[in-house]
C-alpha cells in the first residue's frame, strides 16, 4: 500500500500550487468583490495541462488520470474555490463523458477544444423544479426528422452564459421515465431558440460564472445525441460519479486553505498575554480540523485511484464527496470562529472559505443524496459500479 506521490505527481502538485499563488491570489480580493471571471486564467490552466487528465493523448490528453486532476484541483481550491470549477467544465464533466460515450467524430470535434480551453464547456441537469431528483426534469427533446427541438429550462448551471459546447439532458420519451432520457451535445451560441442569463445572487464562488438556460423549440442537429437515445440517465450517472471526485478535491482545497489560515492566525494573535494557539480549546479546534482533513484526503485520493484502475468506485466516490464536503464546512466554520470578529470581515479569507465550502454540500448531489448512495450500496440494495 503506497501513500506517497510519484515524482510526476509532486511536480504537478507544486505547479498547481505555484499557479494559484501567482496567477489567482494577487487579484482575488478584487475579483471576488466584482464577481469577475477572467478567461485568461482558464487558458493558462489549459496550457499547463490541467484539463488533459483522464483523456487519451489523441484527443489532447496528457497521460495522467483522475488522481492527478484531484491533486491539481485541490491546490487551486486552496486559494480559491471558484477556480476549481474549470476542472469540471473543461475536463472531468463533458470531456471525460464524451470520451466514454461519444462517437469518434464527436471525440475529435469536441474534446480537444475543451482540453485546450478553446471552447467553454458546461453540463445542464438541474432545473427550477428538479435538482436531486434528476428523473424529475421537465426539459424535452422532440424528434423532428432531420433535427431535434429542445424545450425547457435549466438553472444553476456553471458556465451557462459563457459556455460554448456542453451536455444537456432532456426527455425524448417521458412515458419511459428515466429510460426515456437522452443526453445531447449542444452549442449555446447563435441559436435563436436558446437564451442564457447569469445568476449573480450567489452566496459564494463569486468568480465562477453561474446562470440559467432557456430552450424554446431550439433546433439542434440530429447528430447531437451522445450515446444512444434513451441512454441519458446512464450517461448522467456516469458523469456525476466523476464530477463528484472533482468536487471532493475542491473540498480538500478549501479545507486546507482554511486550516492554514487558522493555524497562521492562532500563532500570531495574542489574548491575555499569550498567543491564542496556546489555549487548549483552540488547539482542540485545530486538531479536529486537521484530523478530519487528513481522513478526507485519504478517502478522496483512494476514490480517484480506483477510477484510474478501472475498478468499481461509486461507493468510495460518494463517501469521499460526503465526508470531504462536510469536513470543509466544519473547517471553514471553525476557522471563522478562531478569527473572531475578523473572521466576519471580507478583509480576511475566513468568510470566503465558509461561503465557498457550503456549495460543496449541494452540487453534484447533496450530502443527503450521497448518504442514500452509500447506504444503498452498503446494504446490498444496489451494486458498487
Write down the catalytic residue from 32, 212, 326, 364.
364
Q: Is 364 a catalytic residue?
A: yes
- Cα distances (angstroms) measured from residue 53 to each of 21, 59, 74: 22, 11, 14
Return d(Cα 363, Cα 77) in angstroms, integer. 15
Asked whether the beta carbons of 375 and 221 are under 8 A apart, the reply is: no
Return d(Cα 360, Cα 367) in angstroms, integer. 9
Q: Measuring CA to CA, which residue among 79, 97, 80, 75 is closest to residue 88?
A: 97
Asked whether the beta carbons of 304 and 70 are under 8 A apart, the reply is: yes
Return d(Cα 122, Cα 117) in angstroms, integer. 12
First to last CA, the chain: 23
For 289, the 3-state DSSP assignment is helix
Handedness of CA 314, 318, 324, 327 (dihedral sign): negative
C-alpha grid cell for residue 192?
A: 435563436
Return d(Cα 246, Cα 252) in angstroms, integer. 10
DSSP annotation string for 34-91: HT---HHHHHHHHHTTTT-TTS-GGGT--S--HHHHHHHHHHHHHH-SGGGHHHIIII
DSSP annotation string for 136-172: G---EEEE-SSEEEEEEEEEEEETTTT--EEEEEEES
Handedness of CA 152, 245, 315, 369 (dihedral sign): negative
- Other C-beta atoms closer than 10 Å to the C-beta of 63 total 12
- The residues annotated as belonging to the active site are 364
Amino acid at each position: 500500500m503506497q501513500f506517497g506521490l510519484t515524482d510526476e505527481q509532486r511536480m504537478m502538485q507544486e505547479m498547481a500550487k505555484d499557479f494559484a499563488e501567482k496567477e489567482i491570489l494577487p487579484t482575488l480580493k478584487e475579483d471576488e468583490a466584482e464577481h469577475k471571471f477572467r478567461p485568461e486564467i482558464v487558458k493558462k490552466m489549459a496550457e499547463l495541462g490541467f484539463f488533459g487528465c483522464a483523456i487519451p493523448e489523441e484527443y489532447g490528453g496528457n497521460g495522467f488520470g483522475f488522481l492527478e486532476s484531484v491533486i491539481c484541483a485541490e491546490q487551486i481550491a486552496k486559494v480559491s474555490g471558484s477556480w476549481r470549477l474549470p476542472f469540471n467544465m473543461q475536463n472531468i464533466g463533458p470531456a471525460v463523458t464524451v470520451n466514454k460515450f461519444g462517437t469518434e467524430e464527436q471525440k475529435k470535434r469536441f474534446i480537444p477544444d475543451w482540453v485546450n480551453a478553446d471552447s467553454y464547456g458546461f453540463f445542464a441537469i438541474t432545473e427550477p423544479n428538479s435538482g436531486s431528483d434528476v428523473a424529475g426534469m421537465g426539459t424535452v427533446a422532440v424528434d423532428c426528422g432531420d433535427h431535434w427541438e429542445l424545450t425547457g429550462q435549466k438553472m444553476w448551471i456553471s458556465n451557462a452564459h459563457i459556455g460554448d459546447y456542453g451536455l444537456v439532458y432532456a426527455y425524448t420519451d417521458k412515458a419511459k421515465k428515466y429510460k426515456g432520457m437522452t443526453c445531447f451535445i449542444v452549442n449555446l451560441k447563435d441559436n435563436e431558440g436558446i437564451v442564457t442569463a447569469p445568476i449573480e445572487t450567489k452566496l459564494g464562488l463569486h468568480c465562477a460564472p453561474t446562470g440559467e438556460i432557456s430552450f424554446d423549440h431550439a433546433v439542434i442537429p440530429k447528430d447531437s445525441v451522445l450515446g444512444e437515445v434513451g441512454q441519458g440517465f446512464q450517461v448522467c450517472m456516469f458523469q456525476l460519479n466523476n464530477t463528484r471526485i472533482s468536487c471532493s478535491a475542491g473540498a480538500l482545497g478549501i479545507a486546507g486553505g482554511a486550516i492554514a489560515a487558522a493555524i497562521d492566525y492562532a500563532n500570531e494573535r495574542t489574548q491575555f498575554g499569550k498567543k491564542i494557539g496556546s489555549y487548549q480549546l483552540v488547539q482542540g479546534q485545530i486538531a479536529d480540523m486537521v484530523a478530519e482533513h487528513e481522513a478526507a484526503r485519504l478517502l478522496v485520493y483512494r476514490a480517484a485511484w480506483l477510477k484510474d484502475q478501472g475498478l468499481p468506485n461509486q461507493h468510495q466516490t460518494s463517501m469521499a464527496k460526503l465526508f470531504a464536503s462536510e469536513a470543509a464546512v466544519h473547517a471553514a466554520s471553525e476557522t471563522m470562529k478562531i478569527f473572531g470578529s475578523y473572521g466576519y470581515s471580507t478583509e480576511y479569507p475566513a468568510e470566503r472559505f465558509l461561503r465557498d465550502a457550503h456549495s460543496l454540500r449541494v452540487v453534484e448531489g447533496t450530502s443527503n443524496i450521497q448518504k442514500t448512495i452509500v447506504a444503498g450500496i452498503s446494504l446490498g440494495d444496489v451494486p458498487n459500479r
